[in-house]
Every structure is written in structure tokens, then in C-alpha cells.
């Protein structure tokens, strides 16, 4: 088990012209499960490969349990890595593939047999142990590859790079739960890369949200949903994502097209900002609130998504199933001020909205 620390780690693939990863300093605590979440190309694999030692960062240092491993090769970092696609020896049976990492480390024969049995049962491949990997379906091959990553008990950390991409949707859920159970039982530090927010939020103790090579927020699934500290977290997490409106702040009074929509809780805010509120915290109101045109109402069975517009800005409110209104007409929605945020030009949250002030039109 291990604590991983990154100090000013950054990476450029083109000699410093552009950075796939901007400087990151953070500690990954011993025994916790982390997810690296972000869209394609945001730098997740780059970061994972730097931790495993497959890639040497252009800048910064990597520490495992306090020891500087920046120049230490992967094999000597005691880390298991599972990739998106199967990495297996086809000349060997599934059993031998699973035994291989243990034999390499001279684990006693009885222990190897016991561990291979445990992992095969956990992954549901106990009947495939004597097959050659190429005879298995591609998703089963990936599960065997997963098994190879999980079979060693002495690893400091396990790194997963989108390991369930090729797995059938239904089995994905089961496998994820089994991986979670294994993590809880072994207490090994886990870093799990995904671009699927459900996968990240259900698997990890903490989620690291990345965008364009930057780590924009680290938090629990609850804090990322309730307190998005960056606009990207607002719209990437949640379904649908956060609504945004351009606002002007004048001594913290927020206006849109000259109309007051509330006052920022933080004093002395001035200049152009963005107001953000999630669809869940926009509530139909008969009294004060923001006035919208109703564009469309989408019935999702147990809730409705009400598509709204205000000038050029599109909003969505998530209402209960009973909501009804005329499409094309006007409607007023109030918002929960403590769940509404004001973002600066760098897309960083600088304030919530003062509870006494929310409303306006």
C-alpha cells in the first residue's frame, strides 16, 4: 500500500511548446480509491503513465511513500496497471497468464493456486482457466487482463486506464461493484481513469476532474455536484449539466441585461461574471424569480426536463412529473441561492448568491 505524491508534475510531448499536463501538486492517500475523470485528450492517461513510470514527466517529481521515484522504472515501482485493451500472452492458458506475475515474484506454489482461484471467482472466469485467451470473447479477454492486474497482493497501488470500455454494459456494473469490493477488502491505493461520470462517482472516494491538461477540482461525488468550483465541473458532472448566464457585478449586485437577478454573497464583486445553477435547483415559482420562455418540455417518466430560454441563453430545469405549462409561454423559476454560483473570467467559483437577494426577473 502506498501514498503517492506529485510535486509540480507537468508534461509536454513536444519539447515544451504545448503541455498535455499542466503542473499538478497533490497527494494520493494510502488505501483510497481515486478516479481521474475528464473528456478525451484532457491528460488522464499521461498522468497515469507518469505515476506508473511508463512516462517520465518533463517537470516535477513523483514520490511513493516519501521516496523520490521520478527516475525509477515501472518494474521497480511495485505498481500494477490495467489498460483499456487486453494485454495477455496467447501462448499461455488463462490460468498461466494469471499465475505469471506471481511466479515472477517467486510466490509459493500453493499460494499462487489459491490466489488465482480467488481472482478467477471474483471475476467470474473460473470456467475459462484452461482456455487460451484468443479462444475467449474480447470482453472476457479484457477480464483476464484485469485479473493479471489484480492477482498480486503485494502491490503498492493499482492503476486502471478505462478498464471496462470493451465490457458489456450490464456486466460492467457487476464488475465495477466487484472491483470496489476488492478495493475495500485489500485497502490498496487505486487510481481509475474514466470519461464516464457514473463510473467515477460510484467507484471512487475522491474524483479528480480534469480539463485541457488541468486538474480543475478534486472532491467527493457529492461536493462536485453541490459545489462545482469550476464551470467545467458544473457542466461535465450532472445530467444535464449546469445552466449559465452572463451577468455583470456591480458592488456584488448581479444583473443580466440591466435586470437584477440577485446579490453575490461575497462583498465587492465587480465586472463580467457568469451565474451558474444546476437544473435540480431551479424551481417553478408563482412569486419572484427568473423569467423564461418555455421552449420544450421533455417527459422523462419520473421527472420532466423543462427547456427554457432567456435572451440567447438556454436553461434546463428538472421538475417533478406533475409540472405542466404551455410551450411558448412565459414561466418564472426561482433558484436555491446557496446552490447558485458566480464564476469569474477564469471560470472559477468566486461566490454563492446571498439568500436574502435571490429573485429578480
**236: region left, alpha or beta (phi > 0 left; psi from -120 to 50 alpha):** alpha
How far CA 264 is from CA of 128, 275, 281, 338, 342, in Å, comes to 61, 10, 17, 10, 7
How far CA 47 is from CA of 7, 43, 103, 124, in Å, comes to 12, 6, 29, 31
Computed over its alpha carbons, how large is the radius of gyration of the chain? 25
Q: How deeply is 330 buried, as exposed, middle or buried, from its count of CB atoms within 10 A (0-12, 13-18, 19+)? A: exposed
Shortest Å distance, C-beta 210 to ligand ATP: 7
Looking at the Cβ atoms of 40 and 239, the one nearer to ligand ATP is 40
Looking at the Cβ atoms of 41 and 187, the one nearer to ligand ATP is 41
Which of 4, 6, 35, 45 contacts ligand ATP by CB under 6 A?
A: 45
Q: How deeply is 291 buried, as exposed, middle or buried, from its count of CB atoms within 10 A (0-12, 13-18, 19+)? A: middle
Shortest Å distance, C-beta 72 to ligand ATP: 21
Which of 13, 111, 121, 314 contacts ligand ATP by CB under 6 A?
A: 13
Q: What is the total count of residues that contact ligand ATP (CB under 6 A)?
A: 11
- Cis omega (within 30 of 0) on the bond before 240? yes
Is 42 an interacting residue with respect to ligand ATP (CB under 6 A)? yes
**Using CB under 6 A, which of the segments 38-46, 243-251, 252-260, 302-310 binds ligand ATP?**
38-46
Looking at the Cβ atoms of 128 and 162, the one nearer to ligand ATP is 162
Q: How deeply is 328 buried, as exposed, middle or buried, from its count of CB atoms within 10 A (0-12, 13-18, 19+)? A: exposed
Cell numbers that stand for 97 in this block? 497468464
Which of 40, 239, 286, 346 contacts ligand ATP by CB under 6 A?
A: 40
Looking at the Cβ atoms of 18 and 346, the one nearer to ligand ATP is 18
Output the CA torsion 96→101→103→105 (10° steps): 180
**How many CA atoms are closer than 13 Å to the CA of 86, on its beta-carbon side?**
21
- The Cα 62–Cα 48 span in angstroms is 12
Shortest Å distance, C-beta 50 to ligand ATP: 10
- Cis omega (within 30 of 0) on the bond before 226? no
**How many CA atoms are closer than 13 Å to the CA of 125, on its beta-carbon side?**
29
Looking at the Cβ atoms of 165 and 357, the one nearer to ligand ATP is 165
Which of 5, 6, 28, 43 contacts ligand ATP by CB under 6 A?
A: 43
* Partners of 329 in the β-ladder: none
> At how many degrees (to 10) do helices 138-150 and 169-186 cross?
10
**Using CB under 6 A, which of the segments 1-9, 40-48, 236-244, 331-339 binds ligand ATP?**
40-48
Looking at the Cβ atoms of 148 and 195, the one nearer to ligand ATP is 195
Shortest Å distance, C-beta 241 to ligand ATP: 19
Which of 6, 38, 141, 204 contacts ligand ATP by CB under 6 A?
A: 38
**Using CB under 6 A, which of the segments 41-49, 93-101, 224-232, 290-298 binds ligand ATP?**
41-49
Touching ligand ATP, residues 181-210 (CB under 6 A): 195
Is 101 an interacting residue with respect to ligand ATP (CB under 6 A)? no
Which of 4, 6, 44, 307 contacts ligand ATP by CB under 6 A?
A: 44
Shortest Å distance, C-beta 94 to ligand ATP: 27
Encoded one letter per residue, x for contact with ligand ATP by CB under 6 A and - for no contact, window 263-302 reads ----------------------------------------
Is 57 an interacting residue with respect to ligand ATP (CB under 6 A)? no
Could you give phi then psi for residue 16, rounded to 5 degrees?
A: 100, 0
Q: Which residues in this chain contact ligand ATP in the complex, by CB under 6 A?
A: 13, 20, 38, 40-46, 195
Amino acid at each position: 500500500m502506498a501514498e503517492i505524491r506529485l510535486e509540480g508534475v507537468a508534461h509536454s510531448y513536444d519539447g515544451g511548446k504545448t503541455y498535455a499536463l499542466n503542473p499538478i501538486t497533490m497527494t494520493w492517500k494510502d488505501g483510497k480509491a481515486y478516479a481521474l475523470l475528464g473528456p478525451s485528450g484532457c491528460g488522464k492517461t499521461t498522468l497515469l503513465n507518469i505515476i506508473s513510470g511508463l512516462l517520465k514527466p518533463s517537470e516535477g517529481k513523483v514520490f511513493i511513500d516519501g521516496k523520490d521515484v521520478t527516475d525509477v522504472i515501472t518494474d521497480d515501482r511495485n505498481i500494477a496497471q490495467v489498460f483499456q485493451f487486453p494485454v495477455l500472452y496467447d501462448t499461455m492458458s488463462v490460468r498461466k497468464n494469471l499465475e505469471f506475475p506471481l511466479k515472477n515474484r517467486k510466490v509459493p506454489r500453493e499460494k499462487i493456486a489459491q490466489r488465482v482461484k480467488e481472482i478467477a471467482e471474483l471475476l467470474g472466469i473460473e470456467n475459462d482457466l484452461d482456455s487460451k485467451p484468443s479462444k475467449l470473447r474480447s470482453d472476457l479477454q479484457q477480464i483476464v487482463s484485469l485479473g493479471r492486474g489484480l492477482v498480486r497482493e503485494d502491490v503498492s497501488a493499482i492503476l486502471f486506464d478505462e478498464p471496462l470500455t470493451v465490457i458489456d454494459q450490464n456486466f460492467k456494473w457487476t464488475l465495477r461493484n466487484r472491483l470496489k469490493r476488492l478495493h475495500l477488502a485489500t485497502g490498496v491505493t487505486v487510481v481509475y481513469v474514466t470519461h464516464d461520470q457514473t463510473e467515477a462517482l460510484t467507484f471512487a472516494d475522491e474524483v479528480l476532474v480534469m480539463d485541457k491538461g488541468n486538474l480543475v477540482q478534486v472532491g467527493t461525488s457529492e461536493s462536485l455536484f453541490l459545489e462545482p468550483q469550476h464551470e467545467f465541473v458544473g457542466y461535465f458532472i450532472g445530467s444535464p449539466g449546469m445552466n449559465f448566464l452572463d451577468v455583470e457585478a456591480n458592488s456584488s449586485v448581479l444583473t443580466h441585461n440591466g435586470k437584477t437577478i440577485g446579490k453575490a454573497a461575497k462583498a465587492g464583486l465587480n465586472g463580467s461574471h457568469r451565474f451558474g445553477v444546476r437544473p435540480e435547483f431551479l424551481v417553478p415559482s408563482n412569486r419572484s424569480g427568473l423569467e423564461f420562455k418555455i421552449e420544450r418540455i421533455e417527459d422523462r417518466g419520473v421527472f420532466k426536463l423543462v427547456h427554457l430560454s432567456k435572451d440567447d441563453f438556454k436553461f434546463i430545469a428538472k421538475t417533478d412529473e406533475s409540472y405542466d405549462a404551455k410551450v411558448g409561454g412565459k414561466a418564472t423559476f426561482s433558484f436555491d441561492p446557496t446552490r447558485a454560483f458566480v464564476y469569474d473570467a477564469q471560470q472559477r467559483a468566486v461566490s454563492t448568491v446571498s439568500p436574502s437577494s435571490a429573485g429578480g426577473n
